[in-house]
């Protein structure tokens, strides 16, 4: 047990880092009600939690090199605990956003890169591979346990208890951090301010643009932000497109600056030359796609189960439970398979299973939940994610030397959280955009009075809010509709929600198929065998 005490401490921190997103997702409807906010605001909070981590992860990894990885791990754990406490006490969405999306995110940027580097520092050889597999399995377990923990506590107590528990866990992690060895000596380096600014701003612009596409439109403006009474849509193009374009330009400038820093003998925020390593490039890309799919799935499923079907948080967690079981199980299976199959073969099997699961879930999204089909789809999704989690950490870390593990740990954090941010922003925006289009078309073709159609058309110009289907009838009555008209409006809204969910699931299938193209650089050799002995996967 003493041998594995370090990975237990690091795993506890990893568990908390991953747990937050899935806990909050199944609690969406309750948090919306408790804080008097909206699903769109919660989507923004979920997105910015991971976006904060993505934007500053490289900065956090560099601070770990300068301060020492264990010190960065401890400081990050304390900051994260303070953010969790703020979130637990949040009286409104603004304070929750500050504590969860910002403060916790900033703590995590110090913790996550340090975990990867400290595993490499404390273990070698086969033990290191096992330790990375354990960290991957812990991440999977957090994804799996989150819906049940969040569902149970939200239904029978309060979602706030989860964040109080995180404070306690991180306090224990800090107390036991002294057993962790930190072999890398702190480096005396200056961090380039412009590199931090360019990378953070570029990522924020891209993701925020995607997040707002549901309101502003992608190219043609649907609605525009107004400053001093003037709609902002330069040259008649949606601000979404301009933000994404600006983000891409800033990220291009960031890459150029890193090359110039290296050429001048100054330390970069990240060595761009790492992206020339095919194995690392492929591993990071698949990792990002995996987290995008996971985040998209964990945003859509609770919306369907809670807003469309009216299930509570615990019932939602129970419906997600098959994914929880299979994710943990297949993380172990994937680790065992690595002695017989190549990483590429395991990853591709996982990707194809993920495609199949998304197709099954698409078929299960009906007015009355197809329980068996949904359960099989969730089980297969968990199996796929478990297989991927068992391989990608080791694939990325084994592509570089020990000296570069902290930097690669930071890159892993960037791709994980950028994938999560893009998944929530993109899939959420597809969902809300499709809901707006479908609902507007349904109302326009209905037998509702022209005055009602005109009013609804005007009020949905900036998008349609996701609300429980069960409340639409009452909303209609409160706005002057009679009983029959209110029932008709509720039917249109329910059908529109189902249609938009189907569109979003199709987007998930497209992302998963696209990720297959990214896996070609993952090693095609079984560990310990020569290439000639490997059957082509």
> What's the whole-number mean pLDDT along residues 318-326?
84
Domains 1-180 and 277-523 share a fold: yes
Q: How confident is the model at residue 380 (pLDDT cuts 50, 70, 90)?
A: very high
Residue 47 has pLDDT above 90, yes or no: no
pLDDT of 527 reads 61
pLDDT confidence of residue 462: 58
H helices of 369-404, in order, are 371-397
Kindly state the average pLDDT of the residues 160-166.
91
Stretch 25-41: mean pLDDT, rounded?
Answer: 81
In this prediction, residue 352 carries a pLDDT of 93
Mean pLDDT over 125-151 rounds to 76
**pLDDT tier at 223, thresholds 50, 70, 90:** low
Between CA 55 and CA 197 the distance in angstroms is 9
Residue 180 above 80 pLDDT? yes
**Lowest mean per-residue pLDDT among 102-106, 185-189, 205-209:** 185-189
Q: What is the pLDDT of residue 348?
A: 92
Say whether pLDDT at 229 is over 70.
no
Tell me the average pLDDT across 206-231: 69
On the question of pLDDT at 391 being above 60, the answer is yes
Cα dihedral value 510, 516, 517, 523, nearest 10:
160
Asked if the model's pLDDT at residue 526 lies above 70, the reply is yes
Residue 88: predicted pLDDT: 92
CATH architecture of 277-523: Up-down Bundle (1.20)
How high is the pLDDT of residue 104?
92
Residue % of the chain over a pLDDT of 70: 91
Taking the C-alpha atoms of residue 143 and residue 385, their distance in angstroms, rounded to an integer, is 10
Task: Quote the pLDDT of residue 130.
Answer: 77
Nearest to 162 by CA among 149, 174, 171, 173: 149
When pLDDT is cut at 50, 70 and 90, the band that residue 532 belongs to is: very low
CB 394 within 8 Å of CB 133: yes
Looking at residues 214-218, what average pLDDT do you find? 71
- 230, β-bridge pairs: 227
- Per residue in 191-204, pLDDT tens? 888 988 998 899 88
The pLDDT score that the predictor gives to residue 534 is: 41
Among candidate residues 383, 425, 399, the one with its CA nearest the CA of residue 46: 425
Q: Residue 447 CB: number of other CB atoms within 10 A?
A: 8
Mean pLDDT over all residues of the chain?
A: 82
Task: Please choose, from the candidates 291, 515, 297, the residue with its C-alpha nearest in 3D space to the C-alpha of residue 417.
Answer: 291
Residue 12 CB contacts under 8 Å (≥ 6 apart), including other chains: 169, 172, 173
Closest by CA to 204, choosing from 26, 357, 390, 425, is 425
Phi and psi, residue 221, nearest 5°: -65, 125
Q: Torsions phi, psi of 231, nearest 5?
A: -65, 135
Q: What is the mean pLDDT of residues 251-273?
A: 88
Query: Is the pLDDT higher at 115 or at 429?
Result: 115
Q: Which residues are paired to 231 by β-bridges?
A: 226
The secondary structure of residue 516, as a DSSP letter, is H
Q: How confident is the model at residue 149 (pLDDT cuts 50, 70, 90)?
A: confident
Contacts from 128-135 at CB under 8 Å and sequence distance 24+? 128/397, 129/338, 129/394, 129/398, 129/527, 130/335, 131/4, 131/7, 132/393, 132/394, 132/397, 133/331, 133/335, 133/390, 133/393, 133/394, 134/4, 134/7, 134/11, 135/7, 135/10, 135/11, 135/14, 135/393
Give the model's confidence band at 529: pLDDT under 50 very low, under 70 low, under 90 confident, else very high.
low
Distance CA 29, CA 287 (A): 29
> What's the gap between Cα 278 and its chain centre?
24
Percent of the chain at pLDDT > 90 equals 16
Taking residues 55-78, what's their average pLDDT?
A: 87
Answer for the pair 280, 274: CB distance below 8 angstroms, yes or no.
Answer: yes
321 or 532, higher pLDDT = 321
pLDDT of residue 84: 93
For residue 528, pLDDT beyond 60: no
Domain 1-180 is found in CATH 2.60.220.10:
no
Closest C-alpha among 290, 517, 510 to residue 389: 290
Residue ranges of the domains in the chain?
1-180, 192-268, 277-523
Q: What is the pTM of this model?
A: 0.77
Q: What is the average pLDDT across 214-220?
A: 71
Identify the pLDDT of residue 169.
93
| pLDDT at residue 246 tops 60 | yes
Over 50: is that where the pLDDT of 535 sits? no
Residue 299's pLDDT is what? Answer: 80
Top-confidence residue, 456 or 246:
246
Position 533 scores a pLDDT of 44
pLDDT for the residue numbered 203: 85
């Amino acid at each position: 047990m003493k041998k594995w005490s370090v990975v237990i401490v690091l795993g506890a921190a990893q568990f908390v880092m991953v747990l937050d997103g899935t806990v909050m997702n199944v609690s969406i409807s309750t948090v919306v009600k408790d804080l008097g906010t909206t699903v769109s605001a919660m989507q923004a909070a979920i997105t910015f939690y991971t976006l904060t981590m993505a934007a500053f992860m490289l900065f956090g990894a560099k601070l770990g090199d300068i301060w020492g990885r264990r010190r960065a791990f401890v400081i990050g754990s304390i900051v994260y605990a303070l953010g969790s406490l703020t979130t637990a006490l949040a009286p409104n969405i603004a304070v929750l956003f500050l504590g969860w999306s910002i403060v916790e995110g900033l703590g995590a940027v110090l913790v996550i890169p340090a975990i990867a580097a400290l595993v490499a520092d404390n273990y070698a050889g086969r033990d290191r591979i096992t330790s990375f597999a354990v960290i991957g399995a812990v991440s999977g377990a957090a994804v799996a346990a989150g819906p049940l923990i969040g569902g149970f506590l939200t239904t029978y107590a309060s979602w706030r208890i989860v964040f109080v528990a995180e404070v306690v866990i991180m306090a224990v992690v800090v107390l036991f951090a002294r057993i962790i060895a930190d072999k890398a000596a702190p480096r005396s380096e200056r961090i380039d301010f412009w590199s931090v600014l360019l990378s953070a701003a570029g990522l924020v612009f891209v993701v925020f643009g995607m997040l707002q596409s549901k309101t502003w439109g992608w190219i043609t403006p649907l609605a525009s932000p107004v400053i001093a009474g003037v709609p902002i849509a330069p040259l008649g193009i949606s601000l979404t497109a301009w933000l994404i374009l600006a983000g891409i330009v800033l990220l291009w400038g960031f890459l150029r600056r890193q090359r110039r820093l290296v050429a001048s003998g100054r330390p970069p925020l990240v060595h761009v030359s790492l992206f020339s390593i095919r194995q690392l490039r492929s591993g990071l890309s698949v990792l990002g796609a995996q987290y995008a799919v996971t985040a998209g799935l964990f945003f859509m499923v609770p919306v369907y189960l809670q807003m469309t079907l009216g299930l509570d948080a615990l019932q939602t967690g129970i419906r997600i439970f098959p994914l929880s079981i299979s994710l943990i199980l297949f993380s172990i299976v994937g680790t065992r398979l690595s002695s017989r199959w190549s990483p590429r073969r395991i990853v591709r099997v996982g990707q194809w299973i993920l495609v199949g699961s998304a197709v099954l879930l698409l078929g299960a999204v009906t007015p009355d939940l197809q329980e068996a089909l949904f359960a099989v789809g969730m089980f297969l999704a968990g199996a796929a994610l478990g297989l991927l989690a068992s391989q990608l950490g080791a694939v990325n870390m084994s592509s570089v030397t020990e000296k570069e593990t902290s930097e690669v740990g930071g890159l892993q954090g960037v791709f994980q959280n950028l994938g999560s941010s893009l998944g929530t922003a993109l899939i959420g925006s597809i969902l809300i955009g499709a809901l707006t289009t479908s609902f507007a078309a349904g109302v326009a073709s209905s037998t509702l009075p022209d005055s009602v159609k005109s009013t609804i058309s005007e009020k949905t110009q900036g998008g349609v809010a996701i609300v429980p289907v069960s409340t639409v009838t009452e909303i209609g009555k409160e706005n002057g509709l009679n009983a029959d008209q209110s029932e008709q409006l509720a039917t249109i809204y329910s059908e529109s929600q189902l249609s938009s969910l189907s569109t979003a699931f199709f987007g998930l299938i497209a992302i998963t198929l696209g990720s297959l193209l990214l896996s070609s650089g993952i090693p095609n050799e079984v560990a310990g065998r020569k290439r000639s002995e490997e059957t082509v996967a």
